[in-house]
Amino acid sequence: MTDAYIVGVDMIKFGRFPDKTVPQIGAQAALMALDDCGLTIQDMQALYCGNLGQASGMVGQRMLQEIGQTGMPVVNVSNACATGATAFREAWASVKAGLYDCVLAVGVEQMGKGLLGGAGAKVGIPKEGLLGSGTMPAVFAEAGMEHARKYGTTFEQFAKVSVKNHHHSTLNPKAMYQIETPLDEVMNAEMISYPNTKLMCSVNVDGSAAAVICSEKKARELGLMNRAIKVRASVLASDPWQERDLVMPDVNSCTRKAAAEAYEMAGVGPDDINLIELHDCFATAEILHYENLGICKDGEAGRLIDEGEVALGGRIPVNVSGGLLSKGHPLGATGIANIYEVSTHLRGEAGSRQVEGAKIGLTHVIGLGSACAIHVLEKAS
């Protein structure tokens, strides 16, 4: 099978764009990714479009109605918070399979404000606040407290994740926020679901990101290898059976499964990874994924955040984009936005937040339900 390369990739600055339609927001990133590699929509053989909020609304086709109706096949993808990464992976797979040699992947989302999850009842009575909470801050708080029970992880350690990621975002002009949030501010912010305060919850924003993926042969023909990013691994996993599945969505075992397969496919280990963009939908979640992705041993995640190993300048910087906590989390766009971030570092184009000498990076998203997507990326040689 051919290798697949990202030749163009970009994202819009995340924000709130109530006056735009979802296809219009997606079209912006699509055009930016095309411009990044100097190709046109006519060069694309297929479109894989990820969006959650209008999953039945043919967003990909409507986006092409904005920027070029070539008649190419369009696949609309929905996979919770792994939606964008799943669209990217479908695009990658089509190139790996030899079906196409130049395709476009787009992730886009327009979000409202407020709590996600725990919707009202269709029959009977609402269960929220009666049988615990189905809101995302609570669900991920419970997952974090599972780590606390095992390893004594503290509220302060969870809060430090938010301090770090908000700090990182001050260096990222495409992040929703560029604001420092000191530890006391994070810990004293409005408590949403203990131990997640408001500043430990990801920001609901509108956004889009896109990538152009080519076969190696096509990328060479087009003369695009000098900034190309090799996709060394693309893995998607669903949640393997776990004993508390029915009451406690399990974000750990599907990440561990996907990570093991990704490292094997890429032929690298956690020690070879120079930077990671992982799914910090809540501060509690990021702590879990240090261990799930194998960048430390089980039980050491608290130490990692305490000692700054995961901060920019540390041993293995995590979420130097600002992460979902501060860059923002437009659900369907997130999985491609983190591929953009890692690619930008591998290209040495990340400006003041550049992870020096980055050669290999990893992206991770998880959609509750559950879907985990991991990509291992490397600068083309």
Q: Which residues form the interface with another protein (CB under 8 A)? A: 115, 118, 120, 123-133, 135, 137-139, 141-143, 145-146, 148-149, 155, 190-196, 241, 243-248
Residue with Cβ nearer another protein (100 or 140): 140
Taking alpha carbons only, the member of 59, 75, 67 closest to residue 22 is: 59
Number of Cβ within 10 Å of residue 94's Cβ equals 21
The one-character DSSP state at 201 is B
Cβ contact 147:284 at 8 Å: yes
Compute the least distance from the CB of residue 132 to another protein, in Å.
4
Compute the least distance from the CB of residue 255 to another protein, in Å.
18
Compute the least distance from the CB of residue 140 to another protein, in Å.
8
Taking alpha carbons only, the member of 322, 325, 356, 326 closest to residue 341 is: 322
Bridge partners, 232 (sequence order): none
Catalytic residues: 81, 329
**Cis upstream peptide for 215 (omega within 30°):** no
Q: Is 208 exposed, middle or buried (0-12, 13-18, 19+ CB in 10 A)?
A: buried
Residue with Cβ nearer another protein (221 or 298): 298
Residue with Cβ nearer another protein (145 or 225): 145
Residue with Cβ nearer another protein (228 or 251): 251
Compute the least distance from the CB of residue 49 to another protein, in Å.
31
Pairing of strands 102-109, 275-277: unpaired
